[in-house]
Amino acid sequence: MNKKPSIFKRFKQIYSENPSIFWAIVWVSLMPSIGSLIVLQWFYSKGNDFILFDLEHPLSLVLYITGSTLLMGFALLPTTFLSVLSGFMFGWSSLPYLIVGYTLASIIGYSLGTKMGHNSLEILLQQYPKAADLIRHKRKRMGWLVAFVRLSPVIPFALSNILFALLKAGLKNVIWAGLWGMLPRTILAFFTGIVADSLYQALKRKEENWQLLLIGLLFLLSAWGIYRFFTNGSSSAYRKSS
């Protein structure tokens, strides 16, 4: 009886055949935190310059949308950090423009992940036909998975873009379902920035009890949705693959 290769060996095979996806995962795991520290230090030394940054001015608006798109799309800053910063600096007026920014960022992240991912997921699942069949069986319902993953307060935006690319979730699902999944956590982060007396206080995220409760509910709803996505109807998929 042949022994199945370990997950470690599968990842090693993926790295040998497609090292770009490995380094992409490393990048999206580390760079947003590094970027946050850099921007935070810069903000405290140059933050007063933002007083002249008026989003009602067309050029400022274009710069804001372009900047937020590139910062999130290339995983230079996490969405939560940028949401808190935007809420603190510009208030609710910047929310629609940030939504435009992270929608465009989703397109960038998903497109890059698709180009780098190639057949990495297929390699990982070669010895797990039931799991591969389950994913194929759920292909038409990927929008639900995208929405619930985006809803989670603990799954990073940039990392989820790579996950969606590997799963071939579809750009339409990433844009539309991802939009509705991101809204609750984005609005909560915005509100945190708006009510804070300082950016430091906002980023410490010492929420009121109702905010902590809401974060917990978002996490539980996301976990329930992801669980239901993979378990609902999975038995029939398993029977077909047996």
Per-residue model confidence (pLDDT) at position 32: 92
pTM: 0.81
Ordered by start, the domain boundaries in the chain are 13-41+54-241
Query: DSSP characters for 38-57?
Result: HHHHHHHHHGGGGGG--TTS
SS3 169: coil
Helices marked H in the chain — which ranges? 7-17, 19-46, 58-73, 79-90, 95-117, 120-124, 129-137, 142-151, 157-167, 171-195, 199-204, 209-231, 234-241
> Residue 20: which pLDDT band, with cuts at 50, 70 and 90?
confident
DSSP state of 153: S
pLDDT value, residue 58: 86
Token output for 206: 């010492």
pLDDT for 35 equals 92
The chain-wide mean pLDDT, for the chain, equals: 80
Tens of pLDDT, residue by residue over 73-123, are: 999 999 989 998 898 888 888 999 999 999 999 999 999 988 887 666 665
* 206: pLDDT strictly greater than 60: no
128: DSSP letter: -
Distance CA 130, CA 52 (A): 57
DSSP class of residue 154?
S
